[in-house]
Structure 1
Amino acid sequence: MRVIATIEARMSATRLPGKVMFPLAGAPMLQRLVERVRRARLVDEVVVASTVSMPDEAIADLCRRIDCRVYRGPVEDITQRLLNAAKGADLIVQLTGDCPLIDPEHVDETVRRITDAKADYASNSLNGCTFPIGFDVRAFTMEALQRSADLSDDPVDRVHGSYFIYRNPQLFRLVGWEPPAELRWPELRLTVDEPADYELVRRVFEHLYPERLDFSARDVVTLLRKTPDWVAINSAVRQKTLAEG
């Protein structure tokens, strides 16, 4: 079984343009995320799923420098972008470029869950976010994604890639898994949408990365429970709804 992890990344984010290239511990955010996902033992390849938009040439240049395959497809139709980016995969792990603290162990656990259950889709946020926002991982079969593309051309489905699978449990077999008690913190934002988000994530990287390149989700949560003033930095940022893209 071939497993490809896709990372959706573009320069024209509405709230914080160019964020995937913002520095974290001396390298662009996207590079740090690729490095982390490559540590997942059950992933065969990491592919950046970018767009044909001209500004995204900067993303393609970075991918060439770090020897990471990049696919450039439609801006709004992420379902089609994933289908093409992960061509040849049996299983796709869907990640986004604004979540640089993804834990490779969570990627592996999600792959194990979907494989063991012979399911179509697996996620650690199936029943809502119980992990911090930004730790969420989704995996699904290529067959399920192709089926979702054939069944729906709704823009909301297509802009989220696998959303049609998630919202149709009567058509697909879904499995989820929950965090251990010490990692339950759904109010904590570790995704980068606004400057305050970036400031928090930047501090986490600068504190943890020099000591341990492969720091874990548990390391992040342990640090932030000891630094409530850091947590307050982005506590007022509103999470976008699915309809907002």
Structure 2
Amino acid sequence: MNIGIIIQARMGSTRLPGKILKQFYGGKTLLETLLENLHKVADAKVIVATSVNDNNDQLESFLLDKGELVFRGSENDVLDRFIKAAETYNVDGIIRICSDNPFMDWHGVAQLVEKSKTSDADYIGFRINDKPSILTHFGFWGEFVRLSALKRVADITDEGTPAHEHVTYYIYNHPEDFKCEWIVGPAFLQGRNDIRLTIDTPEDLINALKVYSDLKKEDENFTLQDVVSYLDSHEEIKQSMISNISQNKK
């Protein structure tokens, strides 16, 4: 199986426009921070899948200048965008990543890659608080899906439905039709509903940068456990996250 890490990215965020190219840490943008992390994963090419909208021209130029792989497809039919990106780069096993997650755990991504090599599952994801991690605010994990499964979804659903906007939504909601496997999230995160490190708003960006920069100063290779310990000792940031979670339902 040819594995590709496909990052879903665009400049047209309504709550924080252009967020993925905003400066984040060490002179690097939010997207660069994520890419640097994902390039640590062995046996998987990294592709950024954006849309053909003009407002993504800057994003494409930025990425090509960095030597990154880019695909441009539909703005609204994200399912079709992923299918065509995978076909273009000869990928049949996809690790789907959201571009606004600078705390993405590359070890978890590598775990998905390794598990996919010996599994016949259509979908492999992390499960935390008894739901798919993609439905949480953590921003720590990706998800694996076979290209063949995405094509089946495209065949049996209509454009404009949630299945075409949220790429894997139909699959994990129809386990009777698709084989899904789950990796249980770490015990120290089970039951936690007070951590938001996915970035959708200006306040999210401020919080994430504060946490990231402080942790990097302590340990270049900080862990998810370090993130939790930091937040538990910075109550004001955690309260801000709780407020944003309540205002931005998944």
Q: Which runs of 5+ in 1 are unaligned?
A: none
Give the drift of 1:202. Answer: 0.8
State how 1:105-144 maps to structure 2 within 5 Å. 105-125=107-127, 127-128=130-131, 133-144=138-149
State how 1:74-89 maps to structure 2 within 5 Å. 74-87=74-87, 88-89=90-91
Give the drift of 1:21. Answer: 1.2
State how 1:46-85 maps to structure 2 within 5 Å. 46-85=46-85
Query: What is the match of residue 226 of structure 1?
Result: 233
Given the alignment of the two structures, is residue 173 of structure 1 paired with residue 179 of structure 2, yes or no?
A: yes
- Tell me how far apart the structure 1 counterparts of residues 31 and 229 of structure 2 sit (CA, whole Å): 24
Q: Report the AA paired with residue 198 of structure 2.
A: T
Q: Which runs of 5+ in 2 are unaligned?
A: none
- Is the 1:113–1:175 contact (alpha carbons within 8 Å) kept by the matching residues of 2? no
Q: Report the AA paired with residue 155 of structure 2.
A: D
Q: Report the AA paired with residue 135 of structure 1.
A: F
Offset from partner CA, 1:175-226 (integer Å, 9 cap, x none): 1111221233233111001111111111122123345444332332232222
Q: TM-score, normalised by structure 1?
A: 0.90
Out of 15-24 and 211-220, give the one that drifted further. 211-220
- Is the 2:109–2:141 contact (alpha carbons within 8 Å) kept by the matching residues of 1? no
Tell me: CA distance 1:124–1:230, structure 2 relative to 1, closer, same or farther (3 Å): same
Query: What is the match of residue 17 of structure 1?
Result: 17
- Is the 2:195–2:238 contact (alpha carbons within 8 Å) kept by the matching residues of 1? yes
Q: TM-score, normalised by structure 2?
A: 0.88
Give the drift of 1:125. Answer: 3.3
Tell me: CA distance 1:89–1:214, structure 2 relative to 1, closer, same or farther (3 Å): farther
Given the alignment of the two structures, is residue 235 of structure 1 paired with residue 246 of structure 2, yes or no?
A: no
Q: Report the AA paired with residue 141 of structure 1.
A: R
Give the drift of 1:128. Answer: 1.3
Tell me: CA distance 1:215–1:132, structure 2 relative to 1, closer, same or farther (3 Å): farther
Please give the secondary structure, in 2, of the residue aligned with 1:177. strand
Out of 93-102 and 224-233, give the one that drifted further. 224-233
Offset from partner CA, 1:31-63 (integer Å, 9 cap, x none): 111111111234x21111111111111211221
Question: How many residue pairs get matched?
Answer: 240
What is the root-mean-square deviation of aligned Cα atoms in Å?
1.9
- Percent identical among aligned pairs is 28
